[in-house]
Amino acid sequence: MEAGIVAYGAYIPRRRLSRKCIADANAWFNPALHGQSRGERSMCNWDEDPITMAVEAARDCLVGHTREGVRAVHLASTSFPFEDRLNSGVVAQALNLGADLESLDVGATQRAATAGLVTALRNGCRDGETLFVAAERRRAKAGSTLEMICGDGAAAILVGSNKPIARFLGSHSLTVDFVDHYRGRGSAFDYVWEERWVRDEGYAKLVPATLAGLFEKLSIDPATIAHFCMPCSIGKVAASVARMVGIREAAVHDNLHSVCGEAGAAHSLLMLADALAAARPGERLLVVGFGQGCDALLFEATDELGRLTPRMGVRGHLARRCDEANYSRFLAFNDLVQLDRGMRAELDKQTPLSTLYRKRDMVLALNGGRCTKCGTLQFPKSNVCVDPACNAFHSQDDYPFAERTGKVMSHTADLLTYSPDPPAICGMVQFDGGGRIMMDFTDVDMTEVAVGLPMRMVFRVKDYDTQRGFTRYFWKATPSFAGRGD
């Protein structure tokens, strides 16, 4: 059976930093930044990174879809939290997909997502579905053009052959060592080359050549393209390329630059997810990935698209924005300033890797227990049922809490405990249907929290061991979409 897209999902962090804030803070040195001060860029919270965003995009993708058929998890990024640890393996564990699957990290180029997706579409459906996720949190020097352009985000595509919402018609690629930017080993930031050179020698030549090869290979009339997804922050380049190859101007998809910025390697899939949300059966979608060459992938929407379970997608996450006017907070969250974090931040945070391994189902997948005698739910799982009327020994099966919603039973905001974004807010959450847990809250202001507030679970960074370069993850509670009125 032919492969295609079975489902899609997206995630964009809630915080939005106005580009004007960046320009105003740095205009003393570079007044030209004001020329790019329109719009806003998405901004990770301190406890978000490509892994946590990938988990959220994947959860959005899997809404209404069984997870038993997923046999591979691939993650594309150029900003992986770990250089030598399987990042996609952490994502798979957090999604509670089990150990019987393949996993793969794809990186080192801005077209990691499109190149990896082509491979997944061609090879990933033989034994089941492939969950392909791309996520990016790129760091840039303070006051740089790249800082203005970038945005944080993730997108997920579920690849399979059973009732695809979009058929994969084919692809074409060029590999050319055209260096528009690079980041060498040990460098913290990208080095970016001159914009006009990138536009005229890169986009204007490599992308049209790739598209011409695709159209010739598939005998496709460019005028039949309904959605043309080409990430490029340089103004009007996508429209210019479309004219060169015969794609209608109306087909050029919004690049989302004004509302979230460019999410690096993930941006092509973010645009594809956004286009799928707007597409109709029979329409053709063309997505481009650019970086040391070019990938072009062509899809055709099917009748199954209209039957897909509603999801947040790109527009849903854009709608749940909150203003961030504090540029200093952005700098601190991205380690661009040396902040005095106080003595309470000096605690040694070494993670016992043996304990993490033994407790991985509890820590990464948020699995608790369900008593087989009385049905009581509890977290964490233990040897004795917590119901005093039962107290059965060794009676509990694993029970996943990550997809359960709950309500705030009690809460506190602590200004003494160290937090990268004080105050530290935590509380007791009572899960709907039973079970409770004391946990940290995130993406919420202390004035918003109230007893009874509906909450959902999100996979986040618990803390950083900066001495050893290790990131520790756990689940936190955040106001549910319904609770926020989204």
* DSSP SS3 for 429: strand
* DSSP SS3 for 298: strand
Q: Which has more pLDDT, 405 or 349? A: 405
Q: How far is 254 from 241, CA to CA, in rounded Å?
A: 14
Q: What pLDDT sits at residue 124? A: 58
Q: What is the pLDDT of residues 231-245, one digit of tens each?
A: 999 989 999 999 999
Confidence band for 37, pLDDT divided at 50, 70 and 90: very high
Confidence band for 2, pLDDT divided at 50, 70 and 90: confident
Mean pLDDT of 270-281: 98
Q: What pLDDT sits at residue 247? A: 98
Q: What pLDDT sits at residue 481? A: 76
Least confident of 22-26, 198-202, 292-296, 478-482: 478-482
Read off the pTM.
Answer: 0.96
Mean pLDDT of 460-478: 95
- Largest pairwise CA distance in the chain: 75
* DSSP SS3 for 311: coil
Q: What pLDDT sits at residue 349? A: 83
Q: How far is 275 from 229, CA to CA, in rounded Å?
A: 8
Mean pLDDT of 402-410: 97
Q: What pLDDT sits at residue 482? A: 54
Per-residue pLDDT at 485 exceeds 50:
no
Looking from the CA of 111 toward its CB, the CA atoms found within 13 Å total 27
Q: How far is 153 from 260, CA to CA, in rounded Å?
A: 8
Cα dihedral 379→385→386→391 (10° resolution):
180
At residue 185, φ and ψ (nearest 5 deg) are: -60, 130
Q: What pLDDT sits at residue 134? A: 98
Pairing mode of beta strands 424-431, 406-414: antiparallel
Q: How far is 5 from 61, CA to CA, in rounded Å?
A: 11
